[in-house]
């Protein structure tokens, strides 16, 4: 996840270097922007607009940005080539930003739902048995995806918040964190497969 965040940060910084408003840009910028925007959107559509595939999408679009950055001023020179390259990068990055924002929000929301529901189940079982329950079915937690990170963050924070309010007496044992933590393959693990 750290590498993904670093990659996104670099991508956004690069886009910031080249950002131009399309209305004030020249014709070559606008041509490239529209073409790249269409390519990025088609890529996302081809991936089924599936937020579990956001990391793949980011890699594909990132490779496209790298291609343009590496070629502007070397293989393709001059003011027109620069304008065209900047438009191309901006077109890719606009779709990338929109998709990542949408998917992070969506995956975080689903994590919140999972965290709340599993917390309520945890508390109900704890009340019934008089101690924190164990999460006996271990899940496989898949790391490194954009959606997975947002899901786990939402799930774990909502689980802790809900249990702290609903059944605080059962939140101070090792069984508590093992029940929900993704790192422990608990109920907040993320596995889209």
The domain locations on the chain are 2-102, 106-184
Q: What pLDDT, on a 0 to 100 scale, did the predictor assign at position 144?
A: 63
Q: What pLDDT, on a 0 to 100 scale, did the predictor assign at position 145?
A: 82
For the chain (193 residues), the mean pLDDT of every run of 10, in chain order, is 46 48 76 96 96 93 95 91 94 96 94 95 96 79 78 94 96 90 87 73
Q: What pLDDT, on a 0 to 100 scale, did the predictor assign at position 52?
A: 86
- Phi, psi (rounded to 5 degrees) for 76: -125, 115
Q: Which two tokens stand for residue 146?
A: 């954009």
Q: Which two tokens stand for residue 14?
A: 């690069």
Task: Say if CB 44 and CB 36 are below 8 A apart.
Answer: no
Q: What is the pTM of this model?
A: 0.77
Q: How many CB atoms lie within 10 A of CB 84?
A: 24
Q: What pLDDT, on a 0 to 100 scale, did the predictor assign at position 191?
A: 79
């Amino acid at each position: 996840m750290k590498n993904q965040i670093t990659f996104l940060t670099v991508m956004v910084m690069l886009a910031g270097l080249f950002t131009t408003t399309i209305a004030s840009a020249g014709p070559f910028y606008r041509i490239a922007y529209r073409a790249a925007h269409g390519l990025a959107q088609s890529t996302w559509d081809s991936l089924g607009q599936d937020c579990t595939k956001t990391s793949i999408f980011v890699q594909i679009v990132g490779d496209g940005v790298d291609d343009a950055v590496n070629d502007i001023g070397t293989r393709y020179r001059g003011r027109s080539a620069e304008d065209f390259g900047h438009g191309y990068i901006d077109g890719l990055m606009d779709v990338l930003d929109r998709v990542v924002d949408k998917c992070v929000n969506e995956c975080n929301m689903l994590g919140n739902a999972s965290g709340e529901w599993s917390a309520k189940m945890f508390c109900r079982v704890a009340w019934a048995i008089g101690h924190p329950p164990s999460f006996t079915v271990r899940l496989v937690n898949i790391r490194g995806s954009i959606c997975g990170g947002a899901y786990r963050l939402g799930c774990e924070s909502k689980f802790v918040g809900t249990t702290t309010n609903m059944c605080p007496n059962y939140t101070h044992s090792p069984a508590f964190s093992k029940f929900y933590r993704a790192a422990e393959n608990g109920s907040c693990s993320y596995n889209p497969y």
